[in-house]
Homo-oligomer: A and B are copies of this chain.
């Protein structure tokens, strides 16, 4: 017997047939003897339609009213799934955020969960009932419905799993797990049976979007074991000794830790170089201060000391922020006193991620040697405790990912 939160996204509940299929899956899990709570998203397309209504009526609509409108999508799915479960003979009941009570802060449209009182639902679950909770929403301090922002249903599920002290939070999606890299680039990419929270965060933030970042952060903080698995495959009840997906867990739970978990890439960044800057204290602040004020996120940063008391600063910004960053730096030319401003949007960031590199030397040098062996020039390097990232010309993205995937022994047999 396990206590499990099962979460189904919009494509998994896209129509009545798929809702019936979800009900059948939940039933198998209940018949396995597990205590089950379910979290659902809106039927796919519904949220977009409701958002469209709000925007069409007023581009600057009130976020409180937006929340009242948009939260109905999940409310409908929760009621429908409860009906479908009852039709299969499974005792079920729908719950909205304001009923259970799932409290959030007052940041309408992007609220953060503050607390869930799990006792009400736990009592029901012990009595054999399946709570079907509307994801993505809660109750704000003003007694009004709040929504958590796009992808918030993952966070709802993890928060509920924490409140219920569930053994596992199973996130059913349109992929069957977390892979060592993008299988469209590397057909021999392997599904990872287990991955740490930290690795998942690094992989998610550099492009492998499967779970919402906030949900992983919350899972790490609350030590919720999260499994990513496919809602399309039609398997038996999921048991701990034969998990079909990828389990995101604490490092301690992974006995045979690989040094490198995966290779991620992102083509969403652009390179900015400010050349011939006077090399004196405070110059970094004069470059990055105006960008921060304008809410432009800066990622990789290198500073190369040159001759003549001049230096070059290179960094990356989001591609969509490049025009704005350029304008800001041109305006600040007088303050910074740089010689030349160069930008390049045709770059890719390639990252090698793995908690094992904390205790293993040589990961970075393997990376540099592999890329150099393929004639790929490294423009910028940045490192964290569990990640080494390099910036290269975008044309070399696939080549670099494939070469690194092989070099770290990640290819499937």
A68 within 8 A of B: yes
Name A62's contact: one of B58, B65, B69, B86 (CB within 8 Å): B86
Check A61 against B75 for contact (C-beta < 8 Å).
no
Task: Answer yes or no: A98 CB below 8 A from chain B CBs.
Answer: yes
Known interface pairs A58-B87, A72-B72, A87-B58. Does A65 touch B79 (Cβ–Cβ under 8 Å)?
yes
- A interface with B by C-beta (< 8 Å): 16, 19-20, 50, 53-54, 56-58, 61-62, 64-69, 72, 75-76, 78-80, 82-84, 86-87, 93-94, 96, 98-99, 143-144
What CA separation (Å) do A68 and B133 show in the bound complex? 12
User: For the complex, what is the distance from the CA of A400 to the CA of B150, rounded to whole Å?
Assistant: 63
Which single residue of chain B is at the shortest CB-CB distance from A96?
B68
A70 closest partner in B (C-beta)? B79
Give Cα A370–Cα B144 distance, bound, in whole angstroms: 61
Within 8 Å CB of A62, what residues of B?
Answer: 82-83, 86
Interchain CB contact (< 8 A) of A53 among B16, B61, B66, B68: B16
| Copies of this chain per assembly | 2
Interface-centre pick from A67, A82, A96 (highest chain B CB count, 10 A): A82
Residues of chain B within 8 A (CB-CB) of A61 are 83, 86-87
Complex: chain B residue closest to A72, CB-CB = B72
CB pair B58–A69 under 8 Å, yes or no, is: no
A56 to B94, CA, bound (A): 18
A83 interface neighbour in B19, B65, B84, Cβ under 8 Å: B65
Q: Is the CB of A58 within 8 A of B83?
A: yes
Tell whether, in the assembled complex, residue B84 and residue A57 are in contact, meaning their CB atoms are under 8 Å apart. Answer: yes
Contact of A66 among B72, B79, B84 (CB under 8 A): B79
Shortest distance in angstroms between A18's beta carbon and chain B's nearest beta carbon? Answer: 12
Centre residue among A79, A94, A144 by max chain B CB count within 10 A: A79
* Chain B residue nearest in CB terms to A19: B57
Residues of B within 8 A of A98 (CB): 98
Chain B residues near A53 (CB-CB < 8 A): 16, 76, 80
| Chain B positions within 8 Å of A56 at CB level | 16
Once A72-B72, A76-B69, A94-B68 are accepted as A-B contacts, the answer to whether A83 and B99 lie under 8 Å apart by CB is no
Evaluate whether A54 and B80 lie within 8 angstroms (CB atoms) in the complex, with A99-B143, A143-B99, A144-B99 already known.
Answer: yes
Least CB distance from A283 to B in Å reads 47
Min CB distance, A280 to chain B, in Å? 52
Residue of B nearest to A50 (CB): B76
5 A-B pairs with CB atoms under 8 Å apart are A58-B87, A62-B82, A67-B79, A68-B82, A69-B83
Known A16-B53, A144-B99: A84·B68 in contact at CB below 8 Å: no
Partner of A69, one of B50, B64, B66, B75: B75
Interchain CA distance A82-B69 in the complex, whole Å: 10
Contact of A68 (CB < 8 Å), options: B57, B65, B69, B78:
B78
**Complex Cα–Cα for A364 and B201 (A):** 85
Q: Is the CB of A76 within 8 A of B65?
A: no
Q: Which residues in B have their C-beta under 8 angstroms from that of A83?
A: 54, 57-58, 61-62, 65-66, 69
Q: Which residues of B contact A50 (CB under 8 A)?
A: 76
